Chain A
Amino acid sequence: MRKLKKFGSLLAATAIAVTGIFTTPSDAVFADDANTTYSYTYDIWGEMQSSPDAYRPTKHISGDMFEFEQEDGSMVAKNFVEPQGQFIRGNKIYVCDTGNNRIVEIAFDGKEYKGVREIKEFFGEDGESLTLNKPYDIFVTDNEEMIISDYGNERVLHVDKEAKLIKMMTVPDVTPFNDETDARKFQPQKLIMDTAGRIYVQAEKINKGLLEFDTEGNFTQYVGASPVTFNMIDYIWRFFMTEAQIAAQPKFVPTEYNNVAIDSEGFMYVTLATFDDNKYLTANPVRRLNSTGSDILVRNGNDPPCGDLKWDNAGGYNGPSHFYDVVTFDNNSYCTIDQTRGRIFAYDFQGNLLYAFGGIGNRLGYFRKPVAIDRMGDSLFVMDAQYSNITVFELTEFGELINKALREYQNADYDKSAEYWNNVLRLNGNYDLAYIGVGRALLRQEKYAEAMDYFKAKRDRRNYSKAFEQYRKEQIEDHIGDLVKALIVVLIGVWLIKKVRKIQREVRECD
C-alpha cells in the first residue's frame, strides 16, 4: 500500500514536470529566462559576459504599413526598397526610401506609427520639378527644413517644409572632383547640419574628410581627414622597390568615413569601416571630431570602443566589427551598429562598453545589413537595408538603471549614482561598471576598505590605488601610538639583552 502511494506521488510529480516543460517556453521569444546570449558585455579580462537585455526589440516598421494617395487618386502602400538613411526629429521619422526615390514621413503618436506624407518631388525657384535619384540620407532641422543627399543626381538639396528648394549643392570645384584625369563623381551619402547652418557631407570614395558647405551652399573646405597611418617597415621597404612595385603596393592614404552624426554639444561623430583587420584595436573606428577635425573621443575603458574583442570564424562571419552608423545620447553615451555581426554596441562617455546586443538572423531583433541607427527619446530605431524595415527597440528597466546611474554620476551625485548601480548589480552581478560605480561612492563616503574590495574585484587599478592610499594613511594614523609603543618595547628589550650579556661576560671573566 505504501509503495503504491509513493508510486502515485511520483506519477503526479512527473505529470507536473511534463506539463511544465510543454507550457512555459512557447510564448514570447524574448522572455527573460529564454534568452541569455542576446545581450552581453566584456569584462575586465576581455571575456564575454552575458547580461540582461538593456534594449528589447518591440516591433518592425515596414513600408507597407503606410498608405499614401497617388497622383491618380488611389491609395497605395509600398514596401521600402533598400532604404539607406533615416532621421528622427521629435516624434517624426523621416525615411530615405532609396530604391523608390522618395522620402517617407512617419509620425508616432505614442501608440501607433502613421504615415504623414511621402515626398517624391521638390519645386525649384521657378516652380520646376526636381525628383530624387537614390536619396541616401536626410537631415531635418528644427523648423522642418530638410537636407537630402541626392546620391544619383550628384547633388545635395536643402528644401523647406513645403518641399520648396532653398538651395542646392552640386559638385564642388575642388580636387578630386575637378581633376583633369580620373575626376571623381560627387556622390553624397550621409550628411548633417550643425547649429550654425553649415552642412557637412560624407561623399563616396572621398578620403579627405567631410565636405563642408557654408550657409550659402558654397563649398568651403574638407574637415576632419583621418591622419595617414603607415608602418616604418613598409616605409623602409619602399626604398628598395622599383617604380612598378611601388605602384602595385597599396597606397598610404587616409581611410574614408562611412557615416557622420552630430551630438547634442555640436560635435561630429564619424565612423569608418575600412581598416586592416588585425589593427582593429588601434583603428579607432568611431571618432568624435572637434571643429579643427581632430579626434577627441574619450577612450578610458579597458579596451577602446571597437565592437567585438573576441570572435571565432563561426557561421561564415569572421573579422572585427565594422561600424556603419552612430547615434548619440544627451549624456554623451553613444550606440554604434556593426555590420559584421549585426550588433549594436553602446558606450558611455568614458568609452566603457555598456552593453552589446543583436545579431545576424531573421527574428525580431536580428538584422541582415543594418545601415542606420537613430533614436526617439530612449527608443532606438535601426534600419536594415536588406530587410527594408526598421526595428524598434525599447529601453528596459536594466538599461534605464544604467542610464540613471550614469546621469547621476555626471551630475556628481555619486551616492545616488551608487544607489542605481546597486540596483544594476541586483539584475546583473557581472556588471563591472556597477562595481566600480559603487566603489566610487564608498570612496567618497570614506569607507576605504570596502571601496578597495569593490575596485579590486574589477581590477580598477587607479581607483584602488586612491582608496588604498587613504586607507593606509588612516591605518597609520590610528595605530601610530601602538607603533611607537612597540618600538619603545623593542628598544628596551635590546638594551636589556645587551646589559644581561655584559653582566654574563663580566661574570665569566671573573671566573
Chain B
Amino acid sequence: MRLKKIKFSSLISKEWLTHFGKTLKYSLYVIFHPFDGFWDLTHEKRGSVGAANFLVFLYLLLNILRLQFTSFLVRNINLSRINMWVEIASVIAPILLWCVSNWGFTTLMDGKGRLKEVYMGTAYALTPMIIIGYPNMILSNFLTIEEITFYSFFDTLSLIWFVALVLAAMMMIHDYSLTKTVFSSVLTLVGMAVIVFILVVFFSLISDGIAYFVSLYQEIQFRFY
C-alpha cells in the first residue's frame, strides 16, 4: 500500500492563509484607530480567532524569551529557579480568566459581545506589547545601568497603550459608554479573583475527596492482607 502524500496546502488552504494574513495585519490598524478598529473587528468581521491566537502566542513567546535575553541589569533572574510551565501559565491564565470573567459579567450587563469577540478584542489589544516588547528586549542589552530608564519608559508606554486598547475594545464590543466600561472592567477583575478562589477551593475539595477514597481503599486492603 502506498502512503498518501499529505500536501501542506491541503492542511492550510490558500484562502485561509490570506484571510489570516489580512486579519493579522488588521491588528496594526486597530492599535492606531482603536474605536473604529475594534468596532469593525467584530461587526465587520475584519479580525479572526486565528490571528488572535497567533498574537497571544507571540506574547507568550516574548515573555519566555525575555527571561533569557533581557539584560540582567534590567531583570536579574536566577534561571536555575525558573519553572517553564509556571511561566507559561502566568501568561495564559490571566488572559483566559479575563475573557471568561468579562464575558460572564457583561452578559448580565447588557453587553453585546460574545466570548469569542471578547477574546479577540483582548488578544488584538496585546499588539503594542508585542511590537514594543521585542525591540525593547533587544535594546536592553545595549544599555548601561543609568540608561535603563529608556527601557522602563517603553515598557510602561506599552502597558498604558495596552490598557487603553483593552478599554476601547470592551467599549466597542459591548457597545458601552466609557463609565460603564470602566465599571465592568473593575467588576471583571473582582470576578477573576473570585474564579481563582473557587478553583482553589474546588481543587482542595477534590483532592480531599480523592484522599478519602484512597485511604478507604488502603484500610480495606490492610484488612484483607
Report which A residues bind B (CB closer than 8 A): 45, 456, 459, 461-462, 464-466, 468-469, 472
Chain B hits for A465, CB < 8 A = 73, 144-146
Q: Are B78 and A464 in contact (CB under 8 A)?
A: no
**B179 within 8 Å of A (CB atoms):** no
The 5 closest A-B pairs by CB, nearest first: A465-B145, A465-B144, A469-B144, A45-B78, A461-B73
Taking the nearest CB of chain A, how far is it from the CB of B172, in angstroms? 39
**B69 within 8 Å of A (CB atoms):** no
**Number of B residues, CB within 8 Å of A:** 9
**B212 within 8 Å of A (CB atoms):** no
Q: Are B145 and A462 in contact (CB under 8 A)?
A: yes
**B13 within 8 Å of A (CB atoms):** no
Q: Are A461 and B146 in contact (CB under 8 A)?
A: no
Chain A hits for B146, CB < 8 A = 465
Residue ID in chain B nearest A43 by CB atoms = B78
Residue interface bits B128-169, CB-to-A below 8 A is 1, else 0: 000000000000001011100000000000000000000000
Q: In whole angstroms, what is the CA distance A465 to B72 when docked? A: 10
* Cβ 8 A contact of A456, one of B72, B78, B144, B145: B72
Sample of 5 further A-B pairs with CB below 8 A, known A462-B145, A465-B73: A461-B72, A461-B145, A465-B145, A466-B144, A468-B144
Taking the nearest CB of chain B, how far is it from the CB of A458, in angstroms? 11
Can you give 20 contacting A-B residue pairs, CB < 8 Å? Answer: A45-B78, A45-B81, A456-B72, A459-B72, A459-B76, A461-B72, A461-B73, A461-B145, A462-B145, A464-B72, A464-B73, A465-B73, A465-B144, A465-B145, A465-B146, A466-B144, A468-B144, A469-B144, A472-B142, A472-B144
Residue ID in chain A nearest B74 by CB atoms = A461
Chain A hits for B144, CB < 8 A = 465-466, 468-469, 472
* Cβ 8 A contact of B76, one of A461, A462, A468: A461
Q: Which of B73, B76, B142, B146 has the most CB of A within 10 A?
A: B73
Residue interface bits B174-194, CB-to-A below 8 A is 1, else 0: 000000000000000000000
Chain B residues 64-93 with CB under 8 Å of chain A are: 72-73, 76, 78, 81
Chain A hits for B145, CB < 8 A = 461-462, 465
Chain B hits for A45, CB < 8 A = 78, 81
Q: In whole angstroms, what is the CA distance A465 to B142 when docked? A: 10
Q: In whole angstroms, what is the CA distance A456 to B81 when docked? A: 17
Chain A hits for B142, CB < 8 A = 472
Chain B hits for A466, CB < 8 A = 144
Chain A hits for B78, CB < 8 A = 45
Q: In whole angstroms, what is the CA distance A464 to B76 when docked? A: 13
Residue ID in chain A nearest B76 by CB atoms = A459
Chain B hits for A468, CB < 8 A = 144
Q: In whole angstroms, what is the CA distance A466 to B145 when docked? A: 8
Taking the nearest CB of chain B, how far is it from the CB of A462, in angstroms? 7
Taking the nearest CB of chain B, how far is it from the CB of A500, in angstroms? 26
Taking the nearest CB of chain A, how far is it from the CB of B99, in angstroms? 36
Q: In whole angstroms, what is the CA distance A472 to B144 when docked? A: 9
Q: In whole angstroms, what is the CA distance A469 to B147 when docked? A: 10
Residue ID in chain A nearest B145 by CB atoms = A465
Q: In whole angstroms, what is the CA distance A23 to B142 when docked? A: 58
Q: In whole angstroms, what is the CA distance A464 to B73 when docked? A: 8
Chain A hits for B81, CB < 8 A = 45
Residue interface bits B8-20, CB-to-A below 8 A is 1, else 0: 0000000000000
Residue ID in chain B nearest A472 by CB atoms = B142
Taking the nearest CB of chain B, how far is it from the CB of A473, in angstroms? 10
Q: In whole angstroms, what is the CA distance A326 to B78 when docked? A: 33
Q: In whole angstroms, what is the CA distance A462 to B81 when docked? A: 23
Chain A hits for B73, CB < 8 A = 461, 464-465
Taking the nearest CB of chain B, how far is it from the CB of A277, in angstroms? 25
Chain B hits for A472, CB < 8 A = 142, 144
Q: In whole angstroms, what is the CA distance A461 to B74 when docked? A: 9
Q: In whole angstroms, what is the CA distance A468 to B146 when docked? A: 12
Taking the nearest CB of chain B, how far is it from the CB of A44, in angstroms? 8
Chain A hits for B76, CB < 8 A = 459, 461
Q: Which of A456, A462, A465 has the most CB of B within 10 A?
A: A465
Q: In whole angstroms, what is the CA distance A456 to B76 when docked? A: 10
Residue ID in chain B nearest A468 by CB atoms = B144
Q: In whole angstroms, what is the CA distance A469 to B146 when docked? A: 10
Q: In whole angstroms, what is the CA distance A510 to B91 when docked? A: 57
Residue ID in chain B nearest A470 by CB atoms = B144
Q: In whole angstroms, what is the CA distance A281 to B184 when docked? A: 42
Taking the nearest CB of chain A, how far is it from the CB of B184, in angstroms? 34
Taking the nearest CB of chain A, how far is it from the CB of B9, in angstroms? 32
Taking the nearest CB of chain B, how far is it from the CB of A177, in angstroms? 52
